[in-house]
């Protein structure tokens, strides 16, 4: 399974093509719209999120509610494009029109300057339109298809917020998946810990008032994965490695960890590993899950626990210094938009990005032409390894 | 540029093939042996490291000290194979011989159990021989070639230890590359901070005495990368994402971060980003480097700073509980080897793994058929972006 | 450079995403529409080609007539979709509606039966909608972008018809590229040889009258490629191999050859190879071009000459016997559409498929971030190898 | 499944790494050596083939006669390397030594000139050592592993010679696989038709006497493939396309065709397609096999029939004119070796190259972690589609 996305932030549309899905899997627009909607929510989002409601159109690969096996194409239209047609149209324009609109001031913390140098653009709009986090809507669409596949395989996934601006939520290792989903959905900051959640909202409000922005830590939690998915035989087939790569490619993410993650540097080996037990009914299991569901690049059958850190959004009312690429004069970096905290939305993005990698690994390992056969094969495997 | 590795821990040899290098690049065995040797050093390594000295043989792609442009094959022979021929030979053997040798006891924290279930092996030796960290010697060989390429492009890279068992080394943001290399090399724990280094050694000695193991945090630091390497245009071309994926695929690594990494969740946006400045001689630069050399999936031209966390080695004198896959009876997990701390070696491995990804990204971006042309193109680009 | 396509024959639209193009390359809808239009022409096409005129919409990656460097998305809408919405809609429908429409009769020579077995579809429409040659419009869109790139690099490409129903056109080794383009465009069967062209049209008319179909041989001819593109160092980097793979993946193509191709089996070595000459002005060149522009998987600098054979379209008025997958009863295969000869259109498809592979190889070999730099690098290389 | 090869013609060794094989598949050196030996046989081979007997060493991925699931490394040592160490050693040498040995005369029909220009080598030995057909031994080793896998799945494959120097062997559509293997093996030119075979040998002898070389057509024939392997859903997943790409990447191959191939351009549609029939015991089958086992990029369940054309070897006693790259003076191209016809050996190479692509497609489609499960899944699928 592979996918490509295309589209600029203020362009006509975002487009996603996914290739390699099984046939005969139930899939509807609603599966994807639900995910797109969740991405747009969250205390601290700017105005744009409220104006535009992302809705997907499935334009290939699905017929009468089922996948065909052929590539799936999805479109999220930009309703606002009519106001941007002059700026973002694909047709050639006169040179004098161009000059008027040029963005020559790169914002720190964005792709602006490096991208302009790499691609030789002197109008930085040519960079920022694609490097914008708007593209994550296209990735969420891809991930929503993956999530649907996982759900039909009894593998459930949720992303929530563990920390914002240094305020850490409590851990709930025993909380059920249903509760994780429900509570995070009801929290305006996608936090399982109501008390911490309130403090996070206060911090967001304060940041907004101060014209500053704040970051945080998201967690993605997956239940139902069988053991032995991924592989140790070659480094690029390790599933945790692939997840880390995908998470680190989300806009503004600066780190990723599994299970206790960086804490593993501060503990003895006897406190870090998960002892192995077996019971006839449950099969092999671990008494703890410090390693976050991975050993040797493969799943252990325990929940996958992966965290990612998002830096504060760099577009601020409290500006950062930069340099105009034409005049080479310093200036205070302009504001392109005004979210003071996008961590709750980032948790949704991360959930979908991880879902895609996990689904991809399952499709690589199990027969994937027809969804019912895939499901049967995974169920059989679950039974087999129980008594391995 | 791509590479494959093969070989089992006690097999005949480790083999690496790299495809996609430019021609006419100076390369000798010594470039690689130096890296292999560094990987074997470090306070806290077990006996095996002292007995076997890894030496590479270049068996393809190099002639008279220069790369040909054709694939490079490298071999690290296992001198000890004669003692393992019966156990690890590739020829069929009688069934009664097999039974005698079967490993049926999976060690927690290793690929043993998940790997056995995935690949259907009832003799866990079939897993552990490949999942062993011995394979990192083959990855270091690949990385040593990449490091050589980088060095000829005036891009220098070093890996060192930032933390062991909770003991954190001081940061030295102003320390020169030469000093980083020299001081880390002289430290038995590859630590730039002598005082912390001594404490780390004490902690290792204590862990050894206690029959326990300890982990830590490695840092890789790269100087000389031009800005704009990597790309924001598609998520799988972001260089930080690729590095994160590669680092997380190193045995026993559980997390990775760039620049201030997880600290970004605890700071305001105004404290996280790196303001942009310009001077005619230096070109664009940043006054700080909190983002670790990356914005928008591309290099900023500042040093790349990436950290990875290694968990304590799971093979302990203080054993963990597990279950025999034949009898389904619990047992205390056996000891396959006896390093109490492999973090200094892991810093070398990480250095080479990161070097490969960085070199690969450069070869994708710049003309890569002939090394002298590659060098010229990168030098021209450096000059161009200075006055961009 | 890579691309994905999506879309069913009677679905809402065809979608193409291309990732990996340089920035700052001039590109307009007209570049692509011209290619789409050429694909629809040709003596012997059925009615559908006259009703629907394919027009592209560029929905990502292009701004004000220039590429951004970000992925390019292109859409060809299906104006007729309103009549197909019930049959091809993506939303779930009631079961009784489904039954009415099921196609259970696989046509020989199509993907119908094998596809149905592989993907478990009992309604063969689920196969034929994607396996239809309609998808080649999406590939032509991708190829048109590649052709535009090549044209800006002074590399020109044309596809024409060499043979239909056993009628062979004369070869014109000395004919200029301009004439090849002009004459083939004016010929209703894209044939450079007017006399043979007339016979081909007669054969097509006769086949139509007889309710039969006929195939033929297409040639793609490329001028302006520098020598040394592709590589011998690893088998999957040979450019002729990649072209052969791409051509053989065009619907109904059953073979591919370079230069004299299969004739090489009937000649002595002294008659097959191309002697090497050198003149200061021209650089190295060949006195003949029997090998079709390739030696060792690389271009020689001579024109690329590649031929592909298309079998007759299997949907005929003169039906073929098959078996209903529900009743297992034999039947005479139904007609889905009525082209009696699609070879002229196939020449256009092949032209674009080859253009993509050639452009991709150039982008791999030369710096490809910015188009003006790419052009400069290729021009420099041309000059370099002239006096090599 | 993927593989890389490395090694120069007169270098120390050829190395192959295959990644992605299932565990628990029986595999021994003998499986591979048999293939290597077959590659070296054939009327018309030069002296080198008789001196050196290629033998493989398996140096990774196999234990006690079974695959582990980890990458397989194979080595073919060059016994003659001791005589070439000065010329081909990897260690730096003095400049004056280099000069003495430089090859500055590119041979027409080889990679020599294009390769030298691409990689900037002024000593053409740096090209010819890797571009040599010697590398096909490494590809045969990879293919031999694939062939072993196929054989255990009751899929059998054989390559033989259909034509040499215009002498065409009769077709034997009814001949059993066993006879194809046996008769071709006994024929010094791998020809099923004894009479034609004798004429081919005479032609080879004559060519040798004349100092000329001759080419021919090889056929690969595969029995036992289930229908529906490959896919029509995306162009790069069509199995015939992949085979065409792989075959065209064999040294000196200039074309490839499936079934009646180029003849399809000379027949009516009613004579080209294969009507579909069904019987309870046999399932679906075709009454003919003109399409060579492929429809829509997928197998039909009929034998795969693919042909490839090999041009005469360009190194001749009857020399071709070329130009010295130093003096720019014309010269008559030198002889590096002296096979007058390598078509019988090429049939073996092609057999193995095709085997790899076919095995790869099966592994993509069916569960491939454990060989016994793969076998079971394919057997189940065969049964399923019989009554589809």
Q: What is the DSSP string of B126-195?
A: HHHHHHSGGGHHHHHHHHHHHHHHHHHTT-EEEEEEEEETTEEPPP-TT--HHHHHHHHHHSTT--S-HH
Report the distance separating Cα D373 and Cα D375, nearest Å.
5
CA C146 from centre of chain: 12
Sequence-separated (6 or more) residues with CB below 8 Å from residue D181: D156, D158
Q: Which residues in chain D have Cβ-Cβ distances shorter than 8 Å to A236?
A: none
Is the four-CA dihedral A294, A295, A299, A302 of positive or negative sign? negative
pLDDT at C47: 63
Q: What is the token pair recorded at C36?
A: 């789409």
Helices (H) then strands (E): counts for chain A: 13, 17
Report the distance separating Cα C34 and Cα C27, nearest Å.
12
Q: Which residues in chain C have Cβ-Cβ distances shorter than 8 Å to B234?
A: 19, 70-71
pLDDT digits 0-9 by tens, C311-340: 998 866 677 899 999 999 999 876 655 678
Whether the predicted pLDDT of B337 surpasses 60: no
pLDDT band at B100 (very low <50, low <70, confident <90, very high): low
**pLDDT mean across residues, chain C:** 94
pLDDT band at B248 (very low <50, low <70, confident <90, very high): very high
pLDDT digits 0-9 by tens, C10-29: 999 999 999 999 999 999 99
Q: How many domains does chain C have?
A: 1
Q: Which of C15, C89, C119 sits opposite A15 (nearest CB)?
A: C15
Report the distance separating Cα D82 and Cα D73, nearest Å.
23
Residue of C333 and D57 predicted with greater confidence: D57
Conformational region of residue A79, where left means phi above 0, alpha means psi within -120 to 50, and beta covers everything else: alpha
Whether the predicted pLDDT of C88 surpasses 80: yes
Q: If you count residue pairs, one on A and one on C, with CB atoms under 8 Å apart, how many are there?
A: 180
Q: Do C19 and B369 touch (CB under 8 A)?
A: no
pLDDT at B333: 77
pLDDT digits 0-9 by tens, A256-307: 999 999 999 999 988 999 999 999 999 999 999 999 999 999 999 999 999 9
What is the end-to-end Cα distance of chain A in Å, rounded? 29
Q: How many CB atoms lie within 10 A of CB D106?
A: 27
- Strand bridging mode C298-299 / C304-310: unpaired
Report the distance separating Cα D327 and Cα C253, nearest Å.
46
Whether the predicted pLDDT of A323 surpasses 90: yes
Tell me the backbone φ, ψ of residue D52, rounded to 5 degrees: -100, 130
Q: If you count residue pairs, one on A and one on B, with CB atoms under 8 Å apart, how many are there?
A: 353
Q: What is the token pair recorded at B162?
A: 């930032």
Q: What is the CATH number of the domain that holds B16?
A: 3.60.150.10
Q: Which residues in chain D have Cβ-Cβ distances shorter than 8 Å to B122?
A: none
Closest CA to D80 of D6, D8, D11, D7: D11
| 3 state SS of B12 | coil
pLDDT at A53: 87
pLDDT band at B92 (very low <50, low <70, confident <90, very high): very high
Whether the predicted pLDDT of C97 surpasses 80: no
pLDDT digits 0-9 by tens, B125-143: 999 999 999 999 999 999 9
pLDDT band at D100 (very low <50, low <70, confident <90, very high): low
Interface residue of B59, B87, B122, B145 to substitute, partner D, most D CBs within 10 Å:
B59
Whether the predicted pLDDT of D336 surpasses 60: no
Interface residue of C227, C228, C239, C273 to substitute, partner D, most D CBs within 10 Å:
C273
pLDDT at D319: 79
pLDDT digits 0-9 by tens, D156-184: 999 999 999 999 999 999 999 999 999 99
Report the distance separating Cα A269 and Cα D212, nearest Å.
71
pLDDT at A100: 67
Report the distance separating Cα A369 and Cα B84, nearest Å.
43
Least confident of B310-314, C313-317, D279-283: C313-317
Conformational region of residue B151, where left means phi above 0, alpha means psi within -120 to 50, and beta covers everything else: alpha
Q: Do C117 and D328 touch (CB under 8 A)?
A: no
Report the distance separating Cα D75 and Cα D73, nearest Å.
7
Percentage, residues of chain B above pLDDT 90: 88
Element holding A125 (H helix, E strand): helix A125-131
pLDDT digits 0-9 by tens, C148-205: 999 999 999 999 999 999 999 999 999 999 999 999 999 999 999 999 999 999 999 9
Interface residue of B21, B73, B233, B374 to substitute, partner C, most C CBs within 10 Å:
B233
Percentage, residues of chain B above pLDDT 70: 95
pLDDT at B314: 81
Q: Do B93 and D65 touch (CB under 8 A)?
A: yes
Q: Which of A72, A98, A118 sits opposite C369 (nearest CB)?
A: A118
Q: Which of C72, C73, C369 sits opposite A119 (nearest CB)?
A: C369
| 3 state SS of D172 | coil
Report the distance separating Cα C30 and Cα A194, nearest Å.
57
| 3 state SS of B236 | helix
Tell me the backbone φ, ψ of residue C19, rounded to 5 degrees: -120, 135
ipTM: 0.97
Cα Rg, chain B, nearest whole Å: 22
Sequence-separated (6 or more) residues with CB below 8 Å from residue B353: B139, B143, B246, B247, B249, B250
Say if residues D244 and C245 touch (Cβ distance below 8 Å). yes
Q: Which residues in chain B have Cβ-Cβ distances shorter than 8 Å to A328?
A: 278
One-letter-per-residue 3-state SS of chain C? CEEEEECCCCCCEEEEEEECCCECCECCHHHHHHHHHHHHCCCCCCCHHHHCCCCEEEEECEECCEECCCCEEEEEECHHHHHCHHHHCCCCCCHHHHHHHCCCCCCCCCCHHHHHHHHCCCCCHHHHHHHCHHHHHHHHHHHHHHHHHHHHCCCEEEEEEEEECCEECCCCCCCCHHHHHHHHHHCCCCECCHHHHHHHHHHHHHHHHHCCCECEEEEEEEECCCCCCECCCCHHHCHHHHHHHHHHCCCCEEEEEECCHHHHHHCEHHHHCCCEEEECCCEEEECCCCCCCEECCEECCCCEEEEEEECCCCCCCCCCEEECCCCCCEEECCCCCCCCCCHHHHHHHHHHHHHHHHHHHHHHHCCCCEHHHHHHHHHHHHHHHHCC
Whether the predicted pLDDT of D337 surpasses 60: no
Residue of A320 and B30 predicted with greater confidence: B30
Q: Do B6 and D17 touch (CB under 8 A)?
A: yes
**pLDDT mean across residues, chain A:** 94
Whether the predicted pLDDT of D302 surpasses 60: yes
pLDDT average, residue stretch D122-142: 97
Q: Which of D19, D234, D369 sits opposite A71 (nearest CB)?
A: D234
Cα Rg, chain A, nearest whole Å: 22
Q: Which of B71, B365, B366 sits opposite C233 (nearest CB)?
A: B71
What is the end-to-end Cα distance of chain B in Å, rounded? 29
pLDDT at B291: 97
Whether the predicted pLDDT of A45 surpasses 80: no
Q: Which residues in chain D have Cβ-Cβ distances shorter than 8 Å to A366?
A: 367
Report the distance separating Cα A320 and Cα A108, nearest Å.
7
Sequence-separated (6 or more) residues with CB below 8 Å from residue D155: D222, D223, D224, D225, D358, D362
Report the distance separating Cα C218 and Cα C168, nearest Å.
11
pLDDT at D44: 72
Q: Which residues in chain A have Cβ-Cβ distances shorter than 8 Å to D70?
A: 233-234
Please tell me what DSSP assigns to residue A261.
G
Say if residues B62 and D90 touch (Cβ distance below 8 Å). yes
Which domain covers residue C248, as residue numbers? 2-386
pLDDT at A99: 64
pLDDT digits 0-9 by tens, B147-192: 999 999 999 999 999 999 999 999 999 999 999 999 999 999 999 9
pLDDT at B210: 87
pLDDT at B45: 74
Whether the predicted pLDDT of D108 surpasses 90: yes
Report the distance separating Cα A216 and Cα A311, nearest Å.
7
Q: Do B234 and C19 touch (CB under 8 A)?
A: yes
Please tell me what DSSP assigns to residue B277.
E
């Amino acid at each position: 399974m592979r996918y490509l996305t295309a589209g600029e932030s203020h362009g006509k549309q975002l487009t996603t093509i996914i290739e390699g899905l099984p046939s005969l899997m139930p899939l509807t627009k609603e599966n994807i719209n639900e995910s797109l909607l969740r991405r747009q929510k969250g205390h601290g989002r700017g105005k744009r999120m409220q104006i535009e409601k992302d809705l997907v159109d499935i334009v290939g690969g699905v017929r009468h509610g089922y996948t065909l096996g052929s590539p799936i194409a999805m479109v999220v239209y930009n309703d606002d494009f009519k106001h941007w047609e002059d700026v973002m149209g694909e047709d050639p324009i006169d040179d004098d029109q161009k000059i008027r609109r040029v963005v020559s001031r790169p914002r720190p913390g964005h792709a602006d300057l490096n991208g302009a140098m790499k691609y030789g653009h002197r109008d930085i709009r040519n960079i920022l339109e694609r490097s914008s986090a708007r593209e994550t809507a296209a990735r969420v669409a891809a991930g929503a298809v993956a999530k649907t596949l996982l759900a039909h395989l009894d593998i459930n996934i949720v992303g929530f917020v563990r920390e914002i601006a240094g305020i850490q939520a409590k851990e709930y290792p025993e909380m059920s998946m249903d509760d994780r989903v429900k509570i995070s959905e009801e929290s305006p900051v996608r936090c399982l810990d109501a008390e911490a959640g309130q403090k996070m909202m206060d911090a967001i409000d304060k940041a907004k008032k101060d014209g500053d922005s704040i970051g945080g830590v998201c967690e993605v939690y997956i239940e139902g994965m069988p053991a032995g998915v991924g592989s140790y035989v070659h480094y690029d087939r390790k599933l945790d490695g692939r997840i880390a790569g995908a998470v680190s490619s989300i806009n503004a993410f600066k780190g990723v960890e599994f299970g206790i993650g960086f804490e593993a540097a501060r503990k003895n080996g006897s406190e870090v590993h998960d002892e192995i037990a077996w019971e006839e009914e449950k099969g092999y299991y671990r008494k703890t899950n410090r390693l976050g569901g991975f050993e040797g690049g493969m799943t252990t059958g325990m929940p996958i626990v992966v965290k990612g850190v998002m830096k504060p959004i760099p577009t601020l009312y409290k500006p950062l210094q930069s340099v105009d690429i034409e005049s080479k004069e310093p200036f205070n970096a302009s504001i392109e938009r005004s979210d003071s905290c996008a961590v709750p939305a980032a948790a949704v993005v991360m959930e979908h990005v991880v879902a895609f990698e996990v689904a991809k690994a399952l499709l690589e390992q199990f027969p994937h032409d027809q969804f019912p056969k895939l499901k049967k094969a995974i169920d059989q495997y679950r039974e087999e390894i129980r008594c391995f």
